[in-house]
């Protein structure tokens, strides 16, 4: 099976290497960043243009920033879709608006091309380990055919429904993570203002009902003042914008999402969007004049 992968950023690069390690060695890759292409070629892939990928690959994967990038690469003038054969399949692993996934799938269906939307959770460490969680939308038979390929990059690969269901699930994930991070920052700020050591608060409650993967990953960062990304504020703003768009189009109420989005936007405006999303704690530090854990 000839595979194409477009988008070799923080996530796409290690995912390409895991596809190769998984025994799928006929891999063509492309990215605007030549250094990223060179690194993956050194690991065993071949560099190719988007046209070559479209013309020759049985399955084409993308790992791009957002809906407009995926639409341009696939459906823009001279886009990959214009070269794809009817038997080929498109799997988009980017986190994009589920409405956009459905629009792309509808365009590809006119050419007889099947599509899965297959965003991931887990970040760079799990992309490197090959233990990402995939949330997949698309036909069952297409999912069954390509699950072994996704297994080379993921520890969990779950079909959530038809095309768009993968990205809808990802939006749910991103809402839960964002609201958890904000609650954690608010709670640790309260503890510090009330004179209780946030580190001891974390140790006392992490095993109880309030404990979470978010708390375990982000409380130590907030307490140490470590804002190295991880997952950047700007990417989370992008995901929550997609959540708000989707919610408005289906009539779902999302007041918590709207509120955390405003605070992340404040962070973008005042601190830049390149810090880890746990730096939302700095918004509370700005309001109170304290520094959590220090
Ligand atoms: P990134 O910005 O590091 O990588 C995106 C890559 O796409 C870049 O290398 C860029 O050069 C390339 N690109 C952009 N336009 C292109 C084009 N027209 N043709 C070819 N290449 C093009 O982003 P990332 O962190 O790898 O994230 C990719 C997707 O995965 C995003 O949707 C993100 O939300 C999602 N995601 C990221 C993480 C994370 O922790 N970074 C975790 C889960 C999901």
CA 230 to ligand 1: nearest atom? 40
Confidence label for 130 from pLDDT (cuts 50, 70 and 90): very high
CA 33 to ligand 1: nearest atom? 11
Determine the length of the chain: 294
Tens digits of residue pLDDT in 233-279: 999 999 999 999 999 999 999 999 999 999 999 999 999 999 999 99
Distance 64 CA to ligand 1 centre (A): 4
pLDDT at 177 over 90: yes
| Alpha carbon of residue 101 to chain centroid | 14
Return the pLDDT at 123: 85
Residue 31 has, within 13 A of its CA and on its CB side, a CA count of 25
**Pick the catalytic residue: 13, 17, 71, 170?**
170
> Residue 58 is encoded by which pair of tokens?
């049985």
Distance 12 CA to ligand 1 centre (A): 7
- What is the distance between the alpha carbons of residues 152 and 157, in angstroms, rounded to a whole number? 10
Residue 46 annotated in active site? no
Average pLDDT over residues 84-109: 96
Return the pLDDT at 13: 98
The protein residue with its alpha carbon nearest to ligand 1, atom 5, reads 9
Please give the domain boundaries of the chain with CATH numbers for all domains.
3-162 (3.40.50.720), 168-288 (1.10.1040.10)
Distance 202 CA to ligand 1 centre (A): 33
pLDDT at 230 over 90: no
Sign of the alpha-carbon dihedral angle for 239, 245, 250, 255 = positive
Confidence label for 294 from pLDDT (cuts 50, 70 and 90): confident
Which residues line the pocket of ligand 1, CB cutoff 6 A?
6-12, 30-33, 36, 63-66, 69, 72-73, 94-95, 120-121, 123-124, 231, 235
Which letter, b or e, does each residue of 81-119 get, where b requires 16 or more Cβ atoms within 10 Å of its Cβ?
A: bebbeeebbbbbbbbbbbbbbbbbbebbeeeebbbbbbb
Tens digits of residue pLDDT in 53-80: 999 999 999 999 999 999 999 999 999 9
Say what the pTM is: 0.94
Return the pLDDT at 271: 93
Average pLDDT over residues 118-147: 96
| DSSP designation for 74 | H
CA 96 to ligand 1: nearest atom? 32
Q: Over pLDDT 90: what percentage of the chain?
A: 96
Distance 13 CA to ligand 1 centre (A): 9
Residue 259 has, within 13 A of its CA and on its CB side, a CA count of 10
């Amino acid at each position: 099976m000839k595979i194409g992968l477009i988008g070799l950023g923080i996530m796409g690069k290690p995912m390409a290497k895991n596809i190769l390690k998984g025994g799928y060695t006929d891999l063509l890759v492309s990215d605007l960043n030549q250094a990223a292409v060179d690194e993956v070629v050194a690991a065993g892939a071949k560099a190719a243009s988007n046209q070559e990928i479209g013309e020759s690959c049985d399955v084409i994967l993308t790992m791009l920033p957002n809906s407009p990038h995926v639409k341009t690469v696939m459906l823009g003038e001279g886009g990959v879709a214009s070269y794809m054969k009817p038997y080929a399949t498109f799997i988009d692993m980017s986190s994009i608006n589920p409405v956009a996934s459905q629009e792309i799938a509808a365009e590809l269906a006119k050419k007889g091309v099947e599509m899965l939307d297959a965003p991931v959770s887990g970040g760079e460490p799990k992309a490197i380990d090959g233990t990402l969680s995939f949330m997949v939308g698309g036909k069952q038979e297409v999912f069954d055919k390509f699950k072994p390929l996704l297994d080379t990059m993921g520890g969990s690969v779950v079909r959530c429904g038809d095309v768009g269901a993968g990205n809808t699930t990802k939006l749910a994930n991103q809402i839960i993570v964002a609201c958890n991070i904000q609650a954690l920052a608010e709670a640790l700020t309260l503890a510090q203002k009330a004179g209780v050591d946030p580190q001891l608060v974390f140790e006392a409650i992490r095993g109880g009902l309030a404990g979470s993967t978010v708390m375990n990953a982000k409380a130590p960062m907030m307490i140490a003042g470590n804002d190295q990304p991880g997952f950047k504020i700007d990417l989370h703003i992008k995901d929550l914008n997609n959540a708000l768009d989707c919610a408005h189009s289906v009539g779902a109420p999302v007041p918590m999402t709207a509120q955390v989005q405003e605070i992340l936007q404040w962070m973008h405006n005042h601190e830049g969007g390149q810090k880890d999303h746990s730096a939302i704690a700095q918004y509370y530090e700005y309001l109170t004049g304290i520094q959590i854990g220090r």
